[in-house]
Structure 1
Amino acid sequence: MTTEQTAPPTAASATTRPLNGEEYLESIRDGREVWIYGERVKDVTTHPAFRNSARMVARQYDALHDKENYPSLQVPTDTGSGGYTHPFFKSPYTSNDLRESADAIASFARLNYGWMGRSPDYKA
């Protein structure tokens, strides 16, 4: 006889929505080791070399929750969680899915005026 074990849901698997901007900023206040010009950065969200980029990424995370101004940035996940995500993080099955993904990336680029060459959508 075998017993099938199911792992308990983790925080990541239980998530049904993307982080918002403040949650993102809090997530990078984690003691990470970042150095610039021989100086260790204590908080990348407040250091002059990184704070504006951190805020811009936070702005993009906030846009994922703004259904009125950015409806094209929210699509249901394909994980069965009932949550939503950025279209680029959903597997495309049709040419329309690819178009929606490209349009969502363009919306992100407009949010930061094209200055964030490595915004969160690139990791998909």
Structure 2
Amino acid sequence: MSSTASPSGSVSRPQTGDEYLESLRDGRDVRIYGEKVRDVTSHAAFRNNSRMVARLFDALHDPERNSKLVVPTDTGNGGFTHPYFKAPYTSGDLRAAARAMEEWARMTYGWLGRTPDFKAAFLSTLGSNKEHYAPFEDNASAWYRKAQENVLFIGHGIVNPPIDRNRG
């Protein structure tokens, strides 16, 4: 899918797999079994997942695959996005999102439960129903745009991880 520049002259696009892997090398503090992980992209516990997610991002740029995986953004930047990151307004929008999710699930053989599209349904509400977030509508719109144009991989934590699993 081709992109044209917005009036400001810039086109945001989803990151590539290499860009994603490089973004993980940011000095974050990751530990497993008491060991500090220096690089999650090469550590045995994390490298396969990080490489698989990189393949998902690469597929967005692959002409052989992206017919099922990308649609034009609705932010005015002239770029493209994964359909699940764009607020749906028609049944066609919903079908495009479902096809894209299915394509990513096929690529991972269904083994990755937390792919970048995991939180995308929530993120799309920031654009389709920004009034719900009053008085922070501008912030909601900004995050909708950023998430859609860059296909952000966002997760959430519900509880703090236990320090001692033998305690309640």
Give distance in 2, aligned partners of 1:117 and 1:15: 30
SS in 2 for 1:72: helix
Shift in Å at residue 123 of structure 1? 1.9
| Distance (whole Å) between structure 2 residues aligned to residue 36 and residue 80 of structure 1 | 42
Amino acid at match of 2:107: L
Given the alignment of the two structures, is residue 26 of structure 1 paired with residue 29 of structure 2, yes or no? no
Alignment partner of 1:111 is 2:133: no
Q: Distance in 2 between matches of 1:116 and 1:80?
A: 32
For 1:82-103, what per-residue CA distance to the aligned partner results, in whole angstroms no more than 9, with x for missing partners?
0001000011010110111011
Kindly state the Cα deviation for residue 16 of structure 1 after the two structures are TM-superposed: 2.0
- Normalising to structure 2: TM-score of the pair? 0.64
Whether 1:69 and 2:68 are equivalent positions in the alignment is no
Equivalent pairs, count? 112
Task: Give the match for residue 84 of structure 2.
Answer: 88
Cross-structure match for 1:60? 56
Instruction: Supply the distance in 1 between the matched residues of 2:28 and 2:110 (Cα, whole angstroms).
Output: 27
> The residue matched to 2:48 in structure 1 has which SS?
helix
User: Contact conserved, 2:11 with 2:78, CA < 8 A, in 1?
Assistant: no
Percent of matched pairs sharing the same residue: 63
Which residue pairs with 1:5 in the alignment?
Answer: none
| Displacement of 1:15 | 5.0
The structure whose RCO (Cα within 8 Å, separation 6+) is larger is 2
Cα offset for 1:110? 0.3
Q: Which amino acid aligns with 2:36?
A: R
Report SS of the residue matched to 2:22: helix
Distance 1:103 1:79 in 2: 22
- 2:64, 2:110 → 1: CA distance? 22
**Inter-partner Cα distance in structure 2 for 1:58 and 1:115:** 15
State the AA in 2 paired with 1:121.
Answer: D
Cα deviation code 1:95-122 (max 9, x no counterpart): 1101110110000000010000000011
Which consecutive unaligned segments of at least 5 residues does structure 1 have?
1-8
